Structures are given as C-alpha cells and as structure tokens.
Chains A and B, each alone.
Chain A
Amino acid sequence: MAFKQISSPHGHNPQNTGWIMQLVLLSTVPGFLALSYQFGWGSFINLIVAVVTSLTAETAILACRNRPIAFYLKDYSAVVTAVLLALALPPLVPWWVVVVGSLFSIVIAKQLYGGLGYNPFNPAMVGYVVLLISFPIEMTTWITPLSLLPDGVSHPGLWESMSIVFAGSAPVDGVTGATPLDIFKHSSGLVVDQIYQNEALFSQASFAGVGWEWVNVGFLIGGLILLKTGVFTWHGPLAMLGTLALMSILFWDGGSSESPGSPIMHLFSGASMMGAFFILTDPVSSAVSNRGRLIYGALIGLLVYVIRAWGNYPDAIAFAVLLANFAAPFIDNYTLPRTYGHTDRRKATEKQEEK
C-alpha cells in the first residue's frame, strides 16, 4: 500500500491562530468591565456595533475576493480589531462613528492590503485616527466617571444609552466631562499641585485619575495574562511603558506649570495600558525580533509622550503606533538576532556577510 508523502515535522502543538485571538479577546474583559463600570453602557454598545459591522465587512470583502469565508472568519482577527477599536472609542459616540471606524479598519486598513498578515498598519488604529481627524468633537467627548457624577445624576441606562447612540438624543448635563489628559493639556499656568487640588478628577483619585486609573489597571491585568500565556513577549510593552515613564520623569520639572504631568498619571491615563498591551503588541504591524520590538516599543513610548506633552492632541497612542508602523520594516532590517555560528548579527540589507 502507498502512504502519503508528507514533509516533516509530523505533528503540531495544539495552539492555533484562532485560539490566540480568542485569548486576546478574553484578556480584554477586565479592561472592558472597568470601562463599563466607570462610564456606563457606552462601551458595550460600541462593541456590539463594531463587531457586527466588522464581521459584515469582512464577510463581504472575502466574498468579493473569492476567499473561503468561514475559514478566514475562524481566525477571529476581525473580531479582535473590532473590539479594540470599540474599547478605544469614547462611550456613547453616535453609532455611525463606530460604523465608519470599523469599515475603515477592516476594508481599507486590512483587506485592501491583502487581509490578515499583510496589513502594514494596525487596522484598529487606522480606524481610530480617521475618526479622530474627521469627527473631533464626537471623538473627544468623554463621559464623567461614576464617582464624579453630580448628585442626583447617574449614567444613562441601557435604553437611554441606545437612544443617545442611535437616535442622537442629548445626554443629561454633567454626564460628559474632561479626561485627565485633557485637563493637563488645557490648564497651562497652573502648577501641578494646583491642578490636583482644583480638579476632582485628581483630588478624589486613588493614585492617578478617577475612573481612568481603574480602566488602565484593567488593561494591565489583561496584558499580564497574555504575557503569562506567551501570546507576546515583554519586550514591546515594557519598552513603551518604560520610555513613557522615563520621559515623564525627565520632564517632570518639579511639578511646575510647564510640567506635562507625573509618570503615574501618564502610565495610568488615557489609553496607555491598552496601547502597551493590546495595540502595539499587534504582531502583524510591529517589528519582528525581540530587539526590534524593544526599539519599536520605545519609539511608541517616546512619540506618545512628545505628542501628549507638546502636540495638539491630549492622547496619542494611535498616532504613535501608526508612525512606528511606518518605521517597523526599517527597524527589522537592522535588528536581526545573531544566528548560531556567526560572530555578529547581520543586516537584512547586506549582500555579503561582513567578516
């Protein structure tokens, strides 16, 4: 009898891409819960809208490209993109904002580049940046964290939230407010201590900024789970957070009125933790080697700080990640590991090994 000729290795460990993506999804749960607890139903609605839009878009494009739909949907990558975008958007943004963002992420940033594995830019962040530039008002209107709501006001319930998102009804006064990074951006002239005394967002915080600190802790926990399961290595996240912390120490300036804020505030505000563990770890668009990922992470940390401190936007994860995506292939060329039996690391561009 004849047997099939199959090349080695024979057998495989049980891990597969769909499973890795599911792990990523599961690990967003703590962050998602913190967001929902602090800011109400908005993130949940974002999530549903984004996932439905993304899956529809992915299916449609796969059909146009004549690809087996079920096979590709099973890799869960579209869901991951949708979830990350949804969690980055402000709760209670109008539904069409989410739809436009998701479409951009899936259709333009991912599928038009060839689908999973071929996209040079992080799809969720492409969607985010498009939205931020096109709809600045919607994208910068954040909800007031739970404990800072004025007396007698609470977050809108599920139905009310839906009417805000889908029918455009206006939320009650006091439900929207500034974020810690907004406050630092707009309160020039005050020294840090004054800001901390004047702003309830800081004066009532446990360590960084009411509400936001816990959202960041949530994403930190999720990130540590992923680190533990080996979905990614520590290099990118640590380099990014480390650089961000280092920069905020260097420019802390004794808490003067010029100071862009403390390291703790930067690490636990805005999308810092989510960016570090869920955005820049997107393997497709990042640098490949561990050394490359150190540089890539550090570059993002640096850009985030520079834009936050001296740029026009209060937060900057999306811009920083996209800029670093541009740099990733370049970083890759110069960060090859040293192979066994070679005295030195090589460059990807060299034609002949330098002895």
Chain B
Amino acid sequence: MSRIWEIPGGVHPPENKQQSMTRSIGHLPLPATLVIPLHQHIGAPAKVAVTVGQTVLKGQKLTDASNLNNLPVHASSSGTVIAIDDKPVAHPSGLNALCVTIATDGKDQWIEHAGISDFRQCDPHNLLQMITEAGIAGMGGAGFPAAIKLSPSNDKPVDTFIINATECEPYITADDAAMQEKTQDLIQGIEIVGHILNNPSRVLVGIENNKPQAIVALRSHIKERSIEVVSFPTKYPSGGEKQLIYILTGREVPSGGLPSDLGMVCLNIGTLIAIKRAIIDGEPLISRITTVTGEACGVNRNYDVLIGTPISHLLAHNEFDERNCSRLIMGGPMMGFSLTSTEVPVVKTTNCILASSYSEIPSDLPAQACIRCGLCAEVCPASLLPQQLFWYAQAKDQERLEAHNLFDCIECGACSYVCPSNIPLVQHYRSSKGEIRKANIDKIDSDNARQRFEFRKLRLEQADEQRQVKREARRLATEQARATNSTVQSGSSAADIIAAAQQRAMTKQSTPEQQKAKFERALLAAQSRLEEAENRLTEATAHGTAEQQARCSASLESARQKVDQTQNRLKELSD
C-alpha cells in the first residue's frame, strides 16, 4: 500500500452520488439532430471539412485537423449535415460558437474503421497520432488534447503515471460507473498509455474511498499487473490534478508549471477508455458517459451519450420537471457552470448534467460583510488566504492580489461553500484574474508601442540627418550654379502648392467600398494572426516555460481583440 499525503483544507459537501448509481449505464434513443461544436478543446479550432447537405457516416471527421494542437471532431451518428453555423454552446461565457448540425438518419451507420490488436508492437508516435486523429481531449476538466499530455517535450522522463479516478465533485458518478462496467476497457487504456510512456515505474490509480465497488472491480482485474490502486479519504477537491498529485506522491506541481515538470502524467477515466477505443477498436471519440441527476429529473442515471446530443433530449428522457428546476448545471455543483438554455449540446468534457430542484439548491442568499472569520482559509486546498484575496479584489489592488498568489487559485469553490457571509468569492477571483490578464496584455501592448515609437523616432532622426546632408549638398550646388549662371529660377507660387495639397487629400479619402475592402483584408490578416497565436499558445502550454505561456496568452488576447475591433469597424461600416 502506497503512502498517502493529506492536502490542506477541503470540504465535505453532501455527496448525493447514490441516486444516479441505482441503475447501470443506460443508452438513449438516437436524437433527431446532433449539434457538434467544432472547438471542444484547448488549442486552435480546426477547419470545417464538410458542407451543408453532405451525408456523413458515424465516426466521419467533420474537420480537417491532424496535428497535436488541432483536434478533429467527428460525426457521432450517420445522417445529413443540415447547418454549419454559430449556435449556443456550453461555455461559462454563454457565447455562441461554430457547430455542425447533423440530422440523423436512424441507421447509425459506421464509417469504415479498424483498430490494432497488438499495440505493444506499435511505435508510440503512431499511437499518439491515432489518439489525436480520434479527437481525444482530456474529458475531466478543461479539455486539453490528450496526445499533448502524453508527449511532454521537456527532457524529464515520465516516471509516474497517475490515473485520476477521484471524481470528488458531488453528484457525478460517470467515472464510478465506467470503472465498474468498463473495467476491461479502462485497464487496456492504462496499458496503452503505459506503453506510450515507455512503462513508467509507477502507475497509480487515485480513488476516493467512497467508491468501494469501483475499487474492488479495479483491484480484482489488475491483480497481476504493476498498477496500484490507491484509495484515500473522501474530501473535496482531492480530484484537482495538483491536489491528487500531492496526495499520491507528496510532491507539488510548481506554480505555473505542469505535472510533466515532475515527470508525471495524469489522465482521467473517461480519457483512458476513449484511448482504448481509439487504439484497439479504431473508434474516434463520439460518445461519453454522462451523469444525469438532480431532483428536477425523475430518473437519475448515467448514460453513454453521443457527443452533440442536445441537453433537452437527455432531459426529456429523464422526466425533467422544468418548473421545479432551480438551476441547470453542466458539471458538478462545486465547479460546474450554469446553462441558460437546454438546447446546448453534450461535448467531450460534459461529465454531468445536474438539474437541481429549489429545495436542493436554493437561490443564493445575499452576501453579508466579510467578518474575516478565516473559515475560507481553513478550507483552501491551495493554502491561500481567500479573505485577503477578496479584500484586495474589492480594492482592485492587483499587486497585492499577485503577491497573495491569486493565480494559484484553482477556483474549486471550497471557500465560497463555507463562507458564512455567503460571499461569492470565486466570482470575485475570476473577474480579478480577468482584469489582471487584461492589464498585463495592455502592458505588453504599450511596451510594444513604445518600442515601435522609439524605433520610429530613431528612423526619423536618421532620415533627418540624411536630408540635412543632401540639403547642404544642394545648397552648395546651387551656389555654384548661381555663381556661373545669374538667371533666377522661378519658384512655384502659393496657389500651386495649395492645389497640389488638395489633390493629395482627395486621393487619400477612399470610397466606402475601398474602406470595406481594406477592413476585410485587415480582418483576414488578424484572423490568421489569431490562429497562429493560438497554435503558439498550445505549443507553449505543452512545452514552454511559464513566461512563454504568459507571453503567448497575452499575444493571443491582443490578436483576439484586434479581430473583435476589426469586426466591429466592419460592422459599423456596413450599418
């Protein structure tokens, strides 16, 4: 039995997991339409590879993408593409995004596909390529491309492979169910990754002790192998990647760094099962296990859901009572975000749909004053001082916020959960982080501008000097000429000069059409810069230093702003 380390802080919200575990993983009837967002991972979006009206088969690629930063998405069932447009998607910002909508034909017909039975004979590079081709992004949290996690480029060899089976959020049981019912797939997935990582010396499955059946299932299947199942006391947020690494190894991911800095790789259950399917069965990631739960649903259960299934379809088959629903949450109650519409689709990272009743999750109470009781600091898993962060967030004191390590906050919500004054702390931290990022970008922008300005000044000075030299030369030449020839040259009259200036001004002012064309060109350029910046960011996130990452995200942000600006101008122009 491995030793375990205890993380500081943590809370014990009611688990509410039993209600969705009374039945096995279910399947839903095929939805009439599937709405598949093209951008479901961190990194650059891919280019659309289908057209409206085209028929597609199950598993067919919808986007052209084939490098690590560019994950493809696939049709989750066969049918016809009926739209490629912006639709509401599940994102905390509530923005729309480009989606491919497929009208299913009911045949659920697979595209031709094949896996490889003996992956051990395969070169890890090919396996990684297959994982990328299958569109596998981390299925627990942010949706980081799995292949990038599996190919850390820093020289540190991976010696520890951690499987995150913690599932510490209340209500969610998707991983628990998968571990019990798809144990074989999971273990094969672990073996494949072990092979890719060149058999790391430690393979640890970290699991909370509130999942005894899953623990038994795993232990009974992996007796002979070198995989160790480590269970530890249930406490939220043990499942945060950084927290889990500490629990299992006693080591901390450096601030701003990645697990790979410690020679570790951490994947979750859903991702591993998807990897198994991609390699052994040749199937891309087109479905996932999602918990549908909450008192506003008559049936609480796990489903194997096709990516792109509208939430409304899930709810309709689970006796959803809309009037009783206080909020609709994608994810768990601690970190999930609320959906404003039931029309958004299930995506690769959707591990839970929680439709809570009013008695279950009542409206938030109004916030009272912070009494500095320190309960928040007692529960913070990152050992921050949430009350001080709150204080400085209100004061907008960015220096103090950074000195208090705001950016090490994992937004787990433990502090808000216990705050007796009901202060929405996490919300304050999010907006402060946004403001600081923006300020950093502005700073980089102004630094760039200053550089440009100084460079220009230098250039002008040099030009001036040259002109001075020339003028001098001309003067000398004229004097000489005057000396030889006494006729006075007639200068251009004032009227001539004005006319010429007017002429110049006329040509400068272009027609609206010209302006529009100009902005369109600018937009295209800005968009391509944006794309480039995104690629660089993904690259930097995977392999770069924290500083590089910061710089890349800054330039990404400014590229994004540029695109927005140009779009707005263009819009103004056409209005």
Listed in ascending order, the chain A residues whose CB lies under 8 Å from chain B are 1-13, 15-17, 19-20, 71, 75, 77, 115-118, 230-233, 283-284, 286, 288-290, 332, 336-342, 346-351
B327 touches A341 (CB 8 A): no
Q: How far is the CA of A346 from the CA of B370 in the complex (A)?
A: 23
Closest 3 CB pairs of A and B: A9-B413, A117-B369, A341-B255
Taking a contact as CB atoms under 8 Å apart, the answer to whether B369 and A116 are in contact is yes
A-B contact pairs, 13 of them (CB 8 A): A4-B327, A4-B338, A9-B334, A13-B417, A16-B420, A117-B370, A117-B372, A233-B374, A336-B404, A340-B242, A340-B255, A347-B403, A348-B388
Q: Bound state CA distance, A1 and B341, in angstroms? A: 6
What residues of chain B lie closer than 8 Å to A231, measured between beta carbons? 373
Bound state CA distance, A91 and B177, in angstroms?
A: 66
Complex: how many Å from CA A286 to CA B374? 10
CB of B427 within 8 Å of the partner chain: yes
A354 to nearest B CB, angstroms? 11
B513 interface hit (Cβ, 8 Å)? no
- Whether A332 lies near B388 (C-beta < 8 A) is yes
* Contact for B13 among A1, A5, A13, A289, CB less than 8 A: A13
Residues of B contacting A75 in the complex (Cβ-Cβ under 8 angstroms): 368-369, 371
Contact yes or no, A3 B341, CB < 8 A: yes
Cross-chain contact A12 with B405 (CB below 8 angstroms): no
CB distance from A204 to the nearest CB of B (A): 41
Assess whether A3 is in contact with B385, with CB atoms less than 8 Å apart.
Answer: no
Closest to B240 in A: A340
Contact status A337-B335, CB under 8 Å: no
The answer on a CB contact under 8 Å between A11 and B361 is: yes
- Given A15-B418, A341-B256: 20 more A-B contacts, CB < 8 Å: A1-B341, A3-B341, A3-B342, A8-B337, A9-B426, A12-B365, A16-B420, A17-B368, A75-B369, A116-B368, A116-B371, A117-B421, A230-B375, A284-B371, A288-B388, A336-B404, A337-B384, A342-B254, A342-B408, A348-B388
Interface residues of B (CB under 8 A from A): 11, 13, 94, 242, 246, 252-257, 322, 325, 327-329, 331, 333-342, 354, 356, 361, 364-366, 368-375, 377-378, 381-385, 387-388, 399-400, 403-405, 408, 411, 413-414, 416-422, 424, 426-427, 430
Let me know if A13 and B418 touch, CB within 8 A: yes
Determine which of A16, A118, A288, A338 lies in contact with B387 in the assembled complex, contact meaning CB atoms within 8 Å.
A288
Given the known A-B contacts A7-B337, A341-B254, are A117 and B403 also in contact in the complex, defined by CB atoms under 8 Å? no
Q: Of A4, A16, A350, which is within 8 A of B422 by CB?
A: A16
Instruction: Let me know if A3 and B418 touch, CB within 8 A.
Output: no
Q: Which of B253, B337, B385 neighbours the largest number of chain A CB atoms within 10 Å of its CB?
A: B385
B333 touches A9 (CB 8 A): yes
CB closest chain-B residue, reference A328: B372
Within 8 Å CB of A5, what residues of B?
94, 338, 340
CA gap between A338 and B342 in the complex, in Å:
43
CB < 8 Å: which of B333, B342, B371 contacts A11? B333
B416–A340 CB distance below 8 A: no
For B426, what are the chain A residues with a Cβ–Cβ distance below 8 Å? 7-9
Q: Is A11's CB under 8 angstroms from B400's CB?
A: no
CB distance from A279 to the nearest CB of B (A): 15
Contact (Cβ within 8 A) A284 B254: no
A332 to B385, CA, bound (A): 10
Give the shortest distance, in Å, between B253 (CB) and chain A (any CB): 6
Q: Chain A nearest CB: distance from B366 CB in Å?
A: 7
CB <8 Å contact, A351 and B403:
yes
Question: Which chain A residues border B404 with CB–CB below 8 Å?
Answer: 336, 346, 348
- With contact pairs A11-B333, A13-B13 given, residues A341 and B257 touching in the complex (Cβ less than 8 Å): yes
A204 to B563, CA, bound (A): 86
Chain A residues within an 8 Å CB radius of B399: 351
Q: Given A288-B388, A341-B408, A3 and B361 touching (CB < 8 A)?
A: no
The interface residues of chain B lying within 8 Å CB-to-CB of A20 are 371, 373, 420
Contact A10 B383 (CB under 8 A): no
Which residues of the partner chain B approach A232 to less than 8 Å between Cβ atoms? 373-374
| A19 lies within 8 A of B420 (CB) | yes
A340 touches B252 (CB 8 A): yes
Interface residue from A117, A284, A288 paired with B385 (Cβ < 8 Å): A288
Residues of B close to A338: CB separation below 8 A: 383
Tell me which residues across on chain A come within 8 A of B403, comparing CB atoms.
336, 346-351
Name the residue of chain A whose CB is nearest to the CB of B392: A348
Chain A residue at minimum C-beta to C-beta distance from B413:
A9
Residues of chain B with a CB closer than 8 A to A1's CB? 322, 341-342
Which residues of the other chain, B, contact A10 by a CB distance below 8 angstroms? 327, 329, 333-334, 336, 338, 354, 356, 361
- Min C-beta distance of A242 to chain B, whole Å: 20
Q: State the Cβ distance, A94 to closest chain B Cβ, in Å.
A: 32
